[in-house]
Structure 1
Amino acid sequence: MKFWVVAAALLAAAPALAANDCILDDCSDQGPPRERAAPRDEGAAYRPRGTTPSGDFDFYLLSLSWSPSFCANGGAQKSRRQCAPGANPGFVVHGLWQQYARGYPPACDGSDLPYSVASGLGDLYPDPGLARHEWRAHGACSGKSPQNYFADVRAARDAVTIPAELRAPREDLYVSPLDIQRAFIAANPRLRPGMMAVTCQRGALQEARICLSKDLRDFVACPDVVRRGCRSQSIVVPAGR
């Protein structure tokens, strides 16, 4: 079935919006400022001395990269394993990032990921180099140990259902970013408009970015993330090669 037909069906099946729902790029944070509690700093041993832990954050952003686009735009030189002919992994974990309601913590510059942890992440990241990078740039300053940070990444990945029509398309799809969001909403009943964004690069799907609570039990509204989403009317979702 052509994706535009599936997308039309998903649009019809998507839940109706309530008056107070967050509508894509027209969202606002109406809650009062909150005092931040001091986070437990179990990751202190893995963080550069003098660096403030970013365990003080509001929500997580799970970034799922569309692997065929990554490989077509220079990724094959960075990750031969991910971009090997026939690999066709579809959506893969790029990262789990700490976010503020407005803005985000600065990138970390943490210590290397212990081999004992890295060796167990083969089913989570498409390339071990990406896992090491994500730990140094985000995990080491999360306020958590490597084991607990990557347990969060795994839980976040498992909390999101990939729409069936986007798991391994056999041909290129031409859709709008809104079609992709509607597909995710239909596949994840608690996900609502204003809780995710689709990004694009060079006219192609780049990532699906989904906002999750700190305990990873709920999807949350994230206006700043939504505002940075793709504004193209139509993009290509390249099939794996």
Structure 2
Amino acid sequence: MPSSPLPRLTLALALLLVLAVRPADAQDTPGAFDYYVLALSWQPSWCALEGDDRDAPACARGTGHGWLLHGLWPQYHRGWPAYCDSARRPPSRAMTRAMADIMGSAGLAWHQWKKHGTCSGLPPAEYFALSRRAYRAVTRPEVLRKLDRPVRLPAQVIEAAFLKANPDLARDAVTITCRGGRIHEARICLSRGLSPVPCGRDVVTDCRLEGALLAPLR
């Protein structure tokens, strides 16, 4: 009896998957990317999901944090580099502490350098300076800071608020994400010169929740 073609087909599919999936330890090339994603986290959501359990100082009552900088991420048109093998000297503690005002903590600044900054091709001081420029270049909707109680709303409302506050942004340059039923992040796609650009396919998909929770500032 002739052998079934199924095992051969299964083997072929397995080989294709091995070739298609990038190895976890593959090294990306610093500076070789297509655009940036500026990730802004709604701090009350992060605190409810993670920060409170860590007793994070940035989650203390009265801090008044809204959209904080999660990071500036080098991005391919499809996929992204991470943990690049950079020859740059790591940032000093003074550098990471200096980012706490817009990132919430020096620890996050260090992690973002290690995971994303190493792929920028920039030295730490320039990467953090560019991150701050990008953060300041995007107007965070002031109306969201005026909430006095938790509300549930469609994620599209947050996107519309960003578009209204930033007339130069196109709809395909802004993505709103959700996590744990909450508004989580606003992600804005920017060129190397920090001009708005369309997001890639793996970034552009918005949260589709109609009743995402948005908590007020603390």
Shorter-chain TM-score range: 0.7 to 0.9
**What corresponds to 1:12 in structure 2?**
none
- Which of 132, 139, 155 is the equivalent residue of 1:177? 155
Distance 2:166 2:132 in 1: 17
Tell me the CA shift for residue 89 of structure 1.
0.1
Give yes or no for contact 1:88–1:168 (8 Å, CA) kept in 2: no
What SS class does the counterpart of residue 194 from structure 1 fall into? helix
> Which amino acid in the other structure matches residue 34 of structure 2?
D
- Structure 1 residue 233 corresponds to structure 2 residue 207: no
**What corresponds to 1:83 in structure 2?**
59
Q: Indicate the structure with greater helix content.
A: 2
Distance 2:98 2:50 in 1: 27
Tell me the CA shift for residue 234 of structure 1.
2.1
Tell me the CA shift for residue 54 of structure 1.
2.9
- Structure 1 residue 153 corresponds to structure 2 residue 131: yes
Larger Rg: 2
Per the alignment, do residues 98 and 203 of structure 1 end up closer, same or farther by CA in structure 2, a change over 3 Å counting? Answer: same
Distance 1:75 1:121 in 2: 18
What SS class does the counterpart of residue 82 from structure 1 fall into? helix
> Which amino acid in the other structure matches residue 192 of structure 1?
A
* Structure 1: stretches of 5+ with no match in the other structure: 1-49
> Which amino acid in the other structure matches residue 76 of structure 1?
D
TM-score (norm 2): 0.80
Distance 1:74 1:237 in 2: 15
What SS class does the counterpart of residue 132 from structure 2 fall into? helix
- Which of 75, 86, 89 is the equivalent residue of 1:99? 75
Give yes or no for contact 2:81–2:116 (8 Å, CA) kept in 1: no
**What corresponds to 1:59 in structure 2?**
35
* Structure 2: stretches of 5+ with no match in the other structure: 1-25
Count of paired positions: 190
* Runs ≥4 residues deviating over 4 A: 109-112
TM-score (norm 1): 0.73
